[in-house]
A = this chain, B = another copy of it.
Amino acid sequence: MEFSSKLLENAVYEMSQLPGIGKRTALRLVLHLLKQPEERTELLAHALLKLKSEVNFCKNCHNISDTEVCEICANPKRDETLVCVVEDIRDVMAIENTSQYNGLYHVLGGKISPMEGVGPQDLNIASLVKKVRDGTIKELILALSSTMEGDTTNFYIYKQLEGLEVTTSTIARGISVGDELEYADEVTLGRSIINRVPFESSMKAN
Protein backbone atom coordinates (compact mmCIF):
# COMPACT_ATOMS: atom_id res chain seq x y z
CA MET A 1 0.00 0.00 0.00
CA GLU A 2 1.49 3.34 -1.08
CA PHE A 3 0.61 6.34 1.06
CA SER A 4 0.69 9.93 -0.06
CA SER A 5 1.52 11.07 3.47
CA LYS A 6 3.93 9.84 6.15
CA LEU A 7 1.60 11.01 8.92
CA LEU A 8 -1.21 8.95 7.46
CA GLU A 9 1.02 5.93 6.92
CA ASN A 10 2.20 6.10 10.52
CA ALA A 11 -1.33 6.34 11.94
CA VAL A 12 -2.47 3.43 9.77
CA TYR A 13 0.55 1.38 10.83
CA GLU A 14 -0.12 1.91 14.54
CA MET A 15 -3.82 1.14 14.12
CA SER A 16 -3.03 -2.06 12.21
CA GLN A 17 -0.99 -3.31 15.18
CA LEU A 18 -4.26 -4.02 16.99
CA PRO A 19 -5.38 -7.65 16.80
CA GLY A 20 -7.76 -8.41 13.93
CA ILE A 21 -7.21 -5.00 12.29
CA GLY A 22 -5.54 -5.29 8.90
CA LYS A 23 -4.04 -2.44 6.88
CA ARG A 24 -7.24 -1.82 4.93
CA THR A 25 -9.45 -1.70 8.01
CA ALA A 26 -6.88 0.52 9.73
CA LEU A 27 -6.98 2.94 6.80
CA ARG A 28 -10.78 2.99 6.89
CA LEU A 29 -10.77 3.75 10.64
CA VAL A 30 -8.13 6.46 10.33
CA LEU A 31 -9.91 8.16 7.41
CA HIS A 32 -13.14 8.02 9.42
CA LEU A 33 -11.43 9.84 12.31
CA LEU A 34 -10.08 12.42 9.85
CA LYS A 35 -13.61 13.20 8.70
CA GLN A 36 -14.92 13.57 12.26
CA PRO A 37 -14.50 16.71 14.39
CA GLU A 38 -11.12 16.89 16.12
CA GLU A 39 -12.63 16.11 19.55
CA ARG A 40 -13.41 12.53 18.51
CA THR A 41 -9.73 11.72 17.97
CA GLU A 42 -8.76 13.53 21.14
CA LEU A 43 -11.37 11.74 23.21
CA LEU A 44 -10.22 8.38 21.88
CA ALA A 45 -6.51 9.06 22.28
CA HIS A 46 -6.87 10.50 25.78
CA ALA A 47 -9.21 7.71 26.95
CA LEU A 48 -6.62 5.13 25.88
CA LEU A 49 -3.68 7.02 27.42
CA LYS A 50 -5.57 7.66 30.66
CA LEU A 51 -6.62 4.03 30.97
CA LYS A 52 -3.09 2.78 30.31
CA SER A 53 -1.43 5.16 32.76
CA GLU A 54 -4.02 5.10 35.55
CA VAL A 55 -5.36 1.57 35.32
CA ASN A 56 -5.57 -0.20 38.65
CA PHE A 57 -6.08 -3.85 39.40
CA CYS A 58 -8.00 -5.00 42.48
CA LYS A 59 -5.34 -6.07 44.98
CA ASN A 60 -7.46 -9.04 45.96
CA CYS A 61 -8.76 -10.54 42.68
CA HIS A 62 -6.71 -8.64 40.01
CA ASN A 63 -9.87 -7.49 38.23
CA ILE A 64 -9.60 -4.02 36.64
CA SER A 65 -11.00 -1.53 39.13
CA ASP A 66 -10.88 2.20 39.83
CA THR A 67 -10.67 1.52 43.55
CA GLU A 68 -7.99 -0.40 45.46
CA VAL A 69 -10.40 -3.29 46.09
CA CYS A 70 -13.00 -3.93 43.38
CA GLU A 71 -16.75 -3.68 43.96
CA ILE A 72 -17.20 -7.43 43.88
CA CYS A 73 -14.52 -8.13 46.48
CA ALA A 74 -15.78 -5.22 48.62
CA ASN A 75 -19.39 -6.45 48.58
CA PRO A 76 -20.15 -8.03 51.99
CA LYS A 77 -23.07 -9.97 50.49
CA ARG A 78 -20.79 -12.10 48.32
CA ASP A 79 -19.56 -15.48 49.50
CA GLU A 80 -15.84 -15.10 50.14
CA THR A 81 -15.37 -18.84 50.69
CA LEU A 82 -16.09 -19.48 47.00
CA VAL A 83 -13.60 -18.26 44.36
CA CYS A 84 -13.91 -18.63 40.59
CA VAL A 85 -10.57 -18.65 38.74
CA VAL A 86 -10.85 -17.04 35.29
CA GLU A 87 -8.50 -16.04 32.52
CA ASP A 88 -9.38 -12.39 32.09
CA ILE A 89 -11.88 -9.74 33.02
CA ARG A 90 -14.15 -10.54 30.07
CA ASP A 91 -14.87 -13.86 31.79
CA VAL A 92 -15.79 -12.00 34.99
CA MET A 93 -18.21 -9.85 32.98
CA ALA A 94 -19.70 -12.92 31.28
CA ILE A 95 -20.27 -14.77 34.57
CA GLU A 96 -21.60 -11.64 36.30
CA ASN A 97 -24.10 -11.33 33.45
CA THR A 98 -25.65 -14.69 34.31
CA SER A 99 -26.59 -13.48 37.85
CA GLN A 100 -26.05 -17.10 38.92
CA TYR A 101 -22.84 -16.62 40.86
CA ASN A 102 -22.42 -15.12 44.29
CA GLY A 103 -18.77 -15.84 45.08
CA LEU A 104 -15.59 -13.89 44.35
CA TYR A 105 -13.20 -14.12 41.39
CA HIS A 106 -9.50 -14.50 40.79
CA VAL A 107 -8.29 -13.15 37.46
CA LEU A 108 -5.14 -14.95 36.25
CA GLY A 109 -4.43 -12.54 33.41
CA GLY A 110 -3.90 -15.28 30.83
CA LYS A 111 -3.13 -18.95 30.43
CA ILE A 112 0.17 -20.84 30.60
CA SER A 113 1.35 -20.98 27.00
CA PRO A 114 4.94 -21.96 26.28
CA MET A 115 4.34 -21.19 22.59
CA GLU A 116 3.64 -17.54 23.40
CA GLY A 117 6.25 -17.40 26.14
CA VAL A 118 3.72 -17.16 28.98
CA GLY A 119 4.86 -19.12 32.04
CA PRO A 120 3.25 -19.54 35.50
CA GLN A 121 5.33 -16.64 36.84
CA ASP A 122 3.64 -14.28 34.33
CA LEU A 123 0.20 -15.05 35.75
CA ASN A 124 -1.44 -14.27 39.10
CA ILE A 125 -0.99 -17.85 40.36
CA ALA A 126 1.30 -17.27 43.35
CA SER A 127 -1.21 -14.85 44.89
CA LEU A 128 -3.98 -17.42 44.36
CA VAL A 129 -2.01 -20.13 46.19
CA LYS A 130 -1.27 -17.67 49.00
CA LYS A 131 -4.98 -16.81 49.31
CA VAL A 132 -5.88 -20.50 49.55
CA ARG A 133 -3.14 -21.09 52.12
CA ASP A 134 -4.51 -18.20 54.23
CA GLY A 135 -7.56 -20.36 54.73
CA THR A 136 -10.86 -18.56 54.08
CA ILE A 137 -11.47 -20.20 50.67
CA LYS A 138 -13.44 -23.46 50.78
CA GLU A 139 -14.04 -24.03 47.08
CA LEU A 140 -12.13 -23.01 43.97
CA ILE A 141 -13.96 -23.18 40.63
CA LEU A 142 -11.47 -23.49 37.77
CA ALA A 143 -13.26 -21.79 34.88
CA LEU A 144 -10.58 -21.56 32.19
CA SER A 145 -11.39 -22.29 28.57
CA SER A 146 -11.08 -25.95 27.65
CA THR A 147 -8.12 -25.63 25.30
CA MET A 148 -4.73 -27.22 25.74
CA GLU A 149 -3.43 -24.05 27.43
CA GLY A 150 -6.48 -23.90 29.69
CA ASP A 151 -6.08 -27.53 30.70
CA THR A 152 -2.36 -27.05 31.36
CA THR A 153 -3.08 -24.03 33.55
CA ASN A 154 -5.84 -25.87 35.42
CA PHE A 155 -3.51 -28.78 36.07
CA TYR A 156 -0.65 -26.53 37.18
CA ILE A 157 -2.90 -24.76 39.69
CA TYR A 158 -4.30 -28.09 40.87
CA LYS A 159 -0.78 -29.34 41.51
CA GLN A 160 0.19 -26.18 43.40
CA LEU A 161 -2.77 -26.66 45.73
CA GLU A 162 -1.93 -30.27 46.64
CA GLY A 163 -2.08 -30.84 50.37
CA LEU A 164 -4.08 -27.67 51.01
CA GLU A 165 -7.62 -27.93 52.33
CA VAL A 166 -9.73 -26.67 49.45
CA THR A 167 -12.28 -28.28 47.14
CA THR A 168 -11.53 -27.68 43.45
CA SER A 169 -14.24 -27.93 40.85
CA THR A 170 -14.55 -26.97 37.20
CA ILE A 171 -17.49 -25.57 35.27
CA ALA A 172 -19.73 -28.10 33.52
CA ARG A 173 -19.09 -28.79 29.84
CA GLY A 174 -21.98 -30.00 27.74
CA ILE A 175 -24.44 -29.20 25.01
CA SER A 176 -25.50 -25.53 25.00
CA VAL A 177 -29.05 -24.86 26.14
CA GLY A 178 -31.19 -24.80 22.99
CA ASP A 179 -28.68 -26.73 20.83
CA GLU A 180 -29.55 -29.79 18.79
CA LEU A 181 -27.76 -32.99 19.83
CA GLU A 182 -27.09 -34.10 16.28
CA TYR A 183 -24.90 -31.06 15.54
CA ALA A 184 -22.82 -31.23 18.74
CA ASP A 185 -19.20 -32.40 18.53
CA GLU A 186 -18.63 -35.86 20.01
CA VAL A 187 -16.26 -34.76 22.79
CA THR A 188 -18.81 -32.30 24.19
CA LEU A 189 -21.67 -34.75 23.78
CA GLY A 190 -19.59 -37.48 25.44
CA ARG A 191 -18.79 -35.23 28.41
CA SER A 192 -22.42 -34.23 28.78
CA ILE A 193 -23.40 -37.91 29.09
CA ILE A 194 -20.63 -38.79 31.55
CA ASN A 195 -21.42 -35.74 33.70
CA ARG A 196 -25.21 -36.16 33.52
CA VAL A 197 -27.13 -34.52 36.37
CA PRO A 198 -30.28 -35.63 38.23
CA PHE A 199 -33.37 -34.48 36.33
CA GLU A 200 -34.71 -32.65 39.40
CA SER A 201 -31.64 -30.41 39.65
CA SER A 202 -31.87 -29.52 35.94
CA MET A 203 -35.50 -28.48 36.57
CA LYS A 204 -34.39 -26.19 39.40
CA ALA A 205 -31.91 -24.35 37.19
CA ASN A 206 -34.60 -23.13 34.81
Could you tell me if B11 and A90 are in contact, using CB atoms closer than 8 angstroms?
A: no
Q: Is A33 an interface residue (CB 8 A)?
A: yes
Task: Find A47's partner among B11, B53, B92 (CB 8 Å cutoff).
Answer: B11
Query: Taking A14-B44, A17-B44, A19-B28 as contacts, is the C-beta distance between A89 and B51 under 8 angstroms?
Result: no
Could you tell me if A11 and B51 are in contact, using CB atoms closer than 8 angstroms?
A: yes
How many copies of this chain are found per oligomer? 2
Interface of A is mostly: helix
Given the complex, which residues of B lie within 8 Å of A81, measured CB to CB? none
Could you tell me if B4 and A89 are in contact, using CB atoms closer than 8 angstroms?
A: yes
Chain A: interface size category: 35 or more
Given the complex, which residues of B lie within 8 Å of A54, measured CB to CB? 7
Could you tell me if B89 and A31 are in contact, using CB atoms closer than 8 angstroms?
A: yes
Given the complex, which residues of B lie within 8 Å of A47, measured CB to CB? 7, 10-11, 13-15
Closest 7 CB pairs of A and B: A45-B45, A11-B51, A14-B44, A41-B52, A14-B47, A11-B47, A5-B64
Which residues from chain A sit less than 8 Å from chain B, CB to CB?
Answer: 1-8, 10-11, 13-15, 17-21, 25, 27-35, 38, 40-56, 58, 63-66, 70-72, 88-90, 92-93, 96-97, 109-110
